[in-house]
Structure 1
Amino acid sequence: MQPPSKPAPPEQQATEAGSVTTPVRGALASLSLAMLLPALGTSIANVGLPDMAKALHAPFQDVQWIVLAYLLAITALIVSVGRLGDMLGRRRLLLAGIALFAVASALCALAPTLWLLVAARALQGLAASVMMALTMAFVGSTVPKARTGSAMGLLGTMSAVGTTLGPALGGLLIAHFGWPAIFLVNVPLAAVALLLAWRYLPADRGGAHAKRPVFDHRGTVLLALTLGAYALAMTLGRGHFGARNVALLLAACVGAILFVRVELKAPGPLIRLAMLRAPVLGAGLATSMLVSTVMMSTLVVGPFYLARGLGLGTAVTGMVLAAGPLVAAFCGVPSGWLVDRYGAQRMGGAGLCGAAAACLALSLLPASLGIPGYVAPIMLLTASYALFQAANNTAVMGDIVPDQRGVISGMLNLSRNLGLVTGASVMGAVFAAGTSDITGAQPAAMIRGMHASFAVASALILAALAIFVLGRALSKP
């Protein structure tokens, strides 16, 4: 009589069965909330800046650090916390990150001065970087491989929902309860996410290695300083490059060179640079950054074109701008299903082709078409972006060894964030150059600026498509 075999862990059972079980659904629910909260934290604070400036007796230039501190912390630390999760255990670090997000949110609401609020927001950004870096890393160990695309699409949907929900929810909370409520609302949501993650996420595997790898402290500090300098160079001055921006950009370049030298000699590097030679990974990171740069143009250029080019009022402009995020929220899950059904490579190419067509249409758009002529290409662009993101994330994370999932997930999120901050600066500068004088430009100048911006966006998408095709060709045996 043979002894009974040891049952496989829940994630292996789900993978072997190819179906979504109740524990997997619980895990996806916790990961969805862990993806929703950082996106909500990004968008909900913007609407409260005027009230916080008044309540804390601070000028608007200083109040902007409430947003910047959060974004800088995420950008600078997301790769490092992903690596830390690979080393120490992703479950325990994610639980700590969710708990820290709740505590930091409460500290934000209770902060009596601006700079204490900024410090609390930086702490909240650290927690958000943990949540963003590790949610995608968990997909490989909780979801059947045949449903990876659907899971990635769901996470994309939750991120879009958080971004879309933030301004409306923030305005409602401030109107009834004051600005601290926009931070306190995170506490019960984080508590639910923490409970679900503790109950359903697979336990960290212990005892597999007698000795843990050494954490790359020098590389971590260098990367954080380099990314922080780059993000500041791209965000300070709102696209108008001065001496301070140039100095920060030069510092980022020097930091990048030093980081590469340190990583090549480190016994346990933060990022194994040899991994970037892998065609799928290298192409995935590059295309993600380029496409995110283009997507930022809709937020930078859209409001000016609608308000001054088409002469729309504030309320109508807001409704038109909401079309893109709403499409993203509804397209995430169907995009993931398409990736599972037809393959990540095919759907990634389709997403890039759709984005190229949308940008080309926007670059040639006659103002006589009005709101429908703007909304239709924007909806195509946003749906194509959702499809590309689901496909790209699935392709990149699909063949990663388990002990590198955290750092690769962090790098994917980093490429997206770098694209967004770059797009805010570059596309804003292109638009300003196209209008000649953005402050007093006439409608015709606004239309020219919009056409110029999306002509550049079309070129960036075509470059991303070329990189995608090259990466696909090199990855074939």
Structure 2
Amino acid sequence: MELLLKPIIEKPNETGSGHIKAAAPVRWALASLSLSMLMPSLSTSIANIALPTLAQAFGASFQQVQWIVLAYLLAITTLIVSVGKLGDIFGRRRLLLIGISLFTLASLFCGIAPTLSLLLAARGLQGLGAAMMMALTVAMVGGTVPKERTGSAMGLLGTMSAIGTTLGPSLGGILIAGFGWETIFLVNVPLGIANLLLAAHFLPADRPNAKTMQGRPDAIGTLLLALTLAAYALAMTMGRGSFGAVNIGLLLATAFGAALFLLAQAKVKSPLLRLSMFRDSTLTAGLAMSTLVSTVMMATLVVGPFYLSSALGFDAAEVGAIMSAGPLVAALMGVPAGRIVDRFGTHRMTITGLVGMIAGLFLLSAMQGRFGAAGYIGPIAIVTANYALFQAANNTMIMTDIQPEQRGVISGMLNLSRNLGLITGASVMGAVFTFASGVADITAAHAEAVAAGMQITFIIAALLIVATLGVALAGLAFARRASLLEEVS
């Protein structure tokens, strides 16, 4: 952690000798923000490994225990924008402390839950705490580090998220085997207490903004958005990729809910989301790109295990080791990517990251069946390294020049765009993979069908990133045109 923080907090003084005296408080503040990003991502990945054990422990079916994951993700997805807005109104530091406390207590309740129903309720509360932590962590970067170090800080947060994702399966397996399933939740308790102490002592205080406090919080908009997002998330996750009448009904409910939400936002005095924000081409393009790229990245997690096991013949342990290569590369690249963004600029590095992803995805498709594990790990390393660069650049571009009173809600929207991409990718790219394989049940497909499905899926994934690159280039052209008009006027 010390090595990760050092390049961000140490800034030479005007004489070129020594460092600013505030380095130590900034170091500990960044440590708190890092833990606030690590803990939610760890709790996402660590629970997946425990589902078979939990099904046995509670005498439940797979369909029942999968709600241990879904309850957590639904809480985050439906509430992350709302809690970001509340942070803007009542103070981001105050709400982050509440979020850390709630997450820690909910983790304790998960670990001691005697029934599956109580465990699911505790996971929902844990998801609410995680939503607060994820939304407000990114929002607080602007008040914690100098503007010229924003990219490095965003890269650090990306690294911590990737570490949590990478560490979850292996740590979960060790804890379950040695101490029981309860410990995969209880491990968050000491982390949460340490994080709460760091946040209380070192995070900079922010006062509630008088402008955002005018009028009452938008309860109707908050409810409509939560219900709409819940309907969409359920539509994408129920049925395990096969769409039926329930899924279609939920998508129709999503469209109806979205229309009602937009109508409500246009009429209330203090809306949850000011629709005028979307006139900002940088924000709109950044959110759209985040969703598309996350959709593609989810394809690697959906397709990879089937391809490695069915087409290449690796066993479960080997598949797990190979699949960890991508998150590991993302973790290693997070901070360097942030420093590159600080040096060369957000627009340039956004485009560079997308071009690198396109190259890696086409190479992944072309290399299928060749060179064994190396033929998979090499292209995946290219994809994830450039994804880390894109994420650091895009997050920095969105969060750098926004108004202070909007940091919480925009941070929530940024996290929401990523979550929606992951949810969509799991369903849509999984359906593409199944269709391209030419079988109704991918688990019963022959090796050749799986390999063909993988090849087509990653070609489509590459084309989605080509479309994302088009969005980035259009956004850059619009920004340059606006800058020229300002200079002329």
For Structure 1 versus Structure 2, the TM-score category normalised by the shorter chain is: over 0.9
1:298 aligned partner, one-letter code? T
Q: Structure 1 residues 358 and 211, CA, compared in 2 at 3 Å: closer, same or farther?
A: closer
The aligned residue for residue 23 of structure 1 is 25
Once the 2 structures are TM-superposed, how far is the Cα of residue 211 of structure 1 from its aligned partner?
Answer: 5.6
Confirm or deny that 1:457 pairs with 2:461. Answer: yes
What is the distance in 2 between the residues matched to 1:305 and 1:341?
38
Residues 1:440 and 1:208: Cα distance change in structure 2 (over 3 Å): closer
1:272 partner amino acid: R
Q: How many angstroms does 1:371 deviate by?
A: 1.4
Aligned match of 1:472 in 449, 469, 476? 476
Runs (5+) with no aligned partner, structure 1: 1-13
The one-character-per-residue Cα deviations of 1:423-466 (angstroms, maximum 9, x if unpaired) are 00011001001112223211111111001110110111011100
1:167 paired to 2:185:
no
2:386 aligned partner, one-letter code: S
Q: Deviations over 1:374-433 (max 9, x none)?
A: 111100000011000000000000111000000000000000000000000011001001
Superposition deviation, residue 208 in structure 1: 5.1
CA distance in 2, matches of 1:357, 1:110: 48
Taking the aligned partners of 2:463 and 2:132, their CA distance within structure 1 comes to: 34
Does structure 1 residue 142 correspond to structure 2 residue 144? yes
Residue among 32, 42, 45 paired with 1:43: 45
1:369 offset after TM fit, Å?
A: 2.5
CA deviations 1:135-168 (Å, max 9, x no partner) are 0100101100110000000000000000111111
Choose from 87, 90, 94 the match for 2:89. Answer: 87
Tell me, in whole angstroms, the C-alpha distance in 1 between the residues paired with 2:397 and 2:242: 37
CA contact (8 A) 1:76 1:224 kept: yes
Give the structure 2 partner of residue 5 of structure 1.
none
Q: Distance in 1 between matches of 2:155 and 2:212?
A: 37
Q: Distance in 2 between matches of 1:261 and 1:15?
A: 51
Report the CA distance between 1:117 and its aligned residue: 0.5
Shift in Å, 1:210: 11
The question of whether the paired residues in 2 share the 8 Å contact of 1:279 and 1:472 is answered with no
**For residues 22-48 of structure 1, what are the alpha-carbon distances to aligned partners after superposition, in whole Å with 9 as ceiling and x for unaligned?**
111111000000000000110111111
Superposition deviation, residue 203 in structure 1: 1.2
Q: Give 1:151's aligned residue.
A: 153
Indicate how the Cα distance of structure 1 residues 207 and 52 shifts in structure 2: closer, same or farther if over 3 A, else same: closer
Rounded Cα–Cα distance in structure 2 between residues aligned with 1:473 and 1:275: 19
Q: Please, which of 309, 312, 317 is the counterpart of residue 310 of structure 1?
A: 312
Root mean square deviation, CA, Å: 1.7
CA distance in 2, matches of 1:160, 1:358: 19
Q: 2:374 is aligned with what amino acid?
A: P
Give the distance between the partners of 1:97 and 1:274, measured in 2 at CA: 29
CA distance in 1, matches of 2:457, 2:88: 40
The aligned amino acid for 1:456 is I
Residue pair 1:95, 1:197 contacting (<8 A) in 2 also: yes
SS for the counterpart of 1:368 is coil
Partner residue in 2 for 1:260: 262
**Which of 320, 337, 340 is the equivalent residue of 2:339?**
337
Cα distance in 2 for partners of 1:210, 1:117 equals 36
TM-superposed CA distance for 1:368, in Å, is 2.6
AA aligned opposite 1:97: G
- 1:201: which partner in 2? 203
- The aligned residue for residue 11 of structure 1 is none
Give the Å deviation of 1:206.
5.3
Deviation readout 1:154-210 (Å, 9 max, x if unpaired): 000000000111111111111111101000000000011110000111112258569
Distance 2:102 2:42 in 1: 16
- Superposed counterparts of 1:94-113, under 5 Å: 94-113=96-115
Partner in structure 1 of residue 296 of structure 2:
294
AA at the equivalent of 1:393: N
Whole-angstrom CA distance in 1 between matches of 2:276 and 2:61: 47
1:4 corresponds to which residue? none
2:404 aligns with one of 394, 402, 420: 402
Shift in Å at residue 276 of structure 1?
Answer: 1.1
2:330 is aligned to: 328
Per the normalisation by structure 2, the TM-score is 0.93
Q: How far apart are the structure 2 equivalents of 1:275 and 1:470?
A: 18
Q: Is 1:15–1:145's contact at 8 Å kept on the other side of the alignment?
A: no
Distance 1:210 1:178, change over 3 A: closer
Q: TM-score, normalised by structure 1?
A: 0.95
- Consecutive unaligned residues of structure 2, counting only runs of 5 or more, are 1-10, 484-489
Q: Distance in 2 between matches of 1:428 and 1:387?
A: 25
Kept after mapping to 1: 8 A contact 2:89/2:213:
no
Kindly provide the amino acid, as one letter, of the partner of residue 439 in structure 1. T
Q: What amino acid does structure 1 have at the position aligned with 2:77?
A: T
Is the Cα–Cα contact under 8 Å of residues 150 and 340 in structure 1 kept in the other structure? yes
- Structure 1: how far apart are the matches of 2:175 and 2:214? 46
| 2:6 counterpart residue number | none
Q: Secondary structure at the match of 2:443?
A: coil
Q: Which amino acid aligns with 1:67?
A: V
Equivalent position of 2:3 in the other structure: none
Q: How does 1:54-453 map to 2 (within 5 A)?
A: 54-205=56-207, 212-437=214-439, 438-453=442-457
Helix, strand or coil at the partner of 2:444: coil
Q: Distance between the aligned counterparts of 1:372 and 1:45, measured in 2?
A: 29
How far is 1:15 from its partner?
A: 12
Distance 1:242 1:59 in 2: 21
In 1, Cα distance between the equivalents of 2:444 and 2:156?
43
Query: How far, CA to CA, are the matches of 2:363 and 2:274 in structure 1?
Result: 40
C-alpha distance in 2, partners of 1:16/1:345?
28
Query: Partner of 1:268: helix, strand, or coil?
Result: coil
* Cα distance in 1, alignment partners of residues 294 and 286 from structure 2: 12
Given residue 178 of structure 1, which amino acid in structure 2 is its aligned partner? G
CA contact (8 A) 1:307 1:314 kept: yes
Structure 2 contact 88–208 (Cα < 8 Å) conserved:
no
Give secondary structure in 1 for the equivalent of 2:314.
Answer: coil
Separation in structure 1 between the aligned mates of residue 206 and residue 359 of structure 2, nearest angstrom: 45
| Alpha-carbon offset, residue 370 of structure 1 | 1.8
Distance 2:212 2:140 in 1: 23
